[in-house]
Amino acid sequence: MEYATLGRTGLRVSKLGFGASPLGNEFGEADPAEGERAVHCAIDLGINYFDVAPYYGRTLAETRLGAALEGRRDKVVLATKCGRYDVDGFDFSAARIRLSIDESLQRLRTDYLDVFLAHDIEFADARQVVEEAIPTMRELQQEGKARFIGITGLQLNMLRRVAERIGAEAAPVDAILSYCRYNLLITDMDDLLTPFVQRHGIGLINASPLHMGLLTAGGPPSWHPATAEVKEMGRRLVQFCWQLGIRASDLALQFCLQHPDVATTLAGMSTVEHVRQNVAAATGSVDAALIVEVRTLISPFANRIWPTGRPENQDYAS
């Protein structure tokens, strides 16, 4: 397993990270015992970055991950989030964030987090994130409940604007998590966010290398927000790879893991098989020519994204 430093935090994190949302049944029913075995297998194979959130399974993923990490907490870099608690349930107030971290610590069976992230901030008022949420998270950092803090979201321009506004008065956030903006189907993270984090030494986390299940043999979940055209392109890409005798998911993960500025790429896992497949892909050789061929194949529908969050926080006009 390869490791990288998360921005200026000093945290050494595995280039392949464990996305724990599947433990909360976000992509179908997950067996709790198998999920625990998957967590243990991941640690044994060198994965040390674990990402979860209260929103995943509406606290279920945190509860299951906490149980699986019992006795192994010192072997991992543990991240969870605050601010999003349901499909339409958002609260970035100081009081809720303080309550949220205490609830998460209890579920995760630990007394501190390595990384604490404001979740999907495009659903919030930017001013509240800058003036209330982040200062509260900094206070929790000073209190020892979180070693480092950051923000997450789909809308890249908002992530950058919020970090810029924070930086005008204090220090920028320690980490930014971007999802579904850098994979085989889309790479505009490098246009809208990557240069900014490079300049400021902010740790960059890339999530959803499989575009939230779209680049898998099983296909995306029913709730996936991509357009029908993008889903069809994903299906064609998976079929193309299958005809070559390879898994599209492996190729997609390898593509993301090549990014020189991403500290860790989060792949969702809930079974030992998932873990072993992803580690094998991460440590295997990369077919650069095939990646170029696939990127050419999908080019007519590349860089397509969907609206999420408040209208004023969108990257692109609808």
3-state secondary structure 57-98: CCCHHHHHHHHHCCCCHHHCEEEEEECEEECCEECCCHHHHH
The span from the CA of 205 to the CA of 119, in Å, is 13
56 classed as catalytic = yes
The span from the CA of 79 to the CA of 97, in Å, is 15
The span from the CA of 155 to the CA of 305, in Å, is 9
Calculated CA dihedral for residues 210, 216, 222, 226, nearest 10 degrees: 50
Is the Cβ–Cβ distance between 176 and 151 less than 8 Å? yes
Q: What is the DSSP string of 247-270?
A: -HHHHHHHHHHT-TT-SEEEEE--
Give me the average pLDDT of each 10-residue run along the chain (318 residues): 97 98 92 97 98 97 98 97 97 98 98 98 96 96 98 97 80 92 96 94 97 93 91 93 94 96 97 96 90 91 93 86
- Enter the pTM of the model: 0.96
The span from the CA of 169 to the CA of 217, in Å, is 47
- pLDDT at position 165: 85
Closest CA to 29 of 276, 207, 271, 267: 271
Q: What is the DSSP string of 122-147?
A: GGS-HHHIIIIIHHHHHHHHHTTSEE
Is the Cβ–Cβ distance between 148 and 142 less than 8 Å? no
Choice among 49, 55, 56, 85 that is catalytic: 56
Is the Cβ–Cβ distance between 51 and 265 less than 8 Å? no
Q: Environment class of residue 284 by beta-carbon count within 10 Å: exposed (0-12), middle (13-18) or buried (19+)? A: exposed
Tracing tokens 């595995």 back to the chain, one arrives at 14
- pLDDT at position 35: 97
Map out the domains of the chain with their CATH numbers: 3-213+253-286 (3.20.20.100)
Q: Which residues are bridge partners to 217 per DSSP?
A: none
The span from the CA of 175 to the CA of 178, in Å, is 10
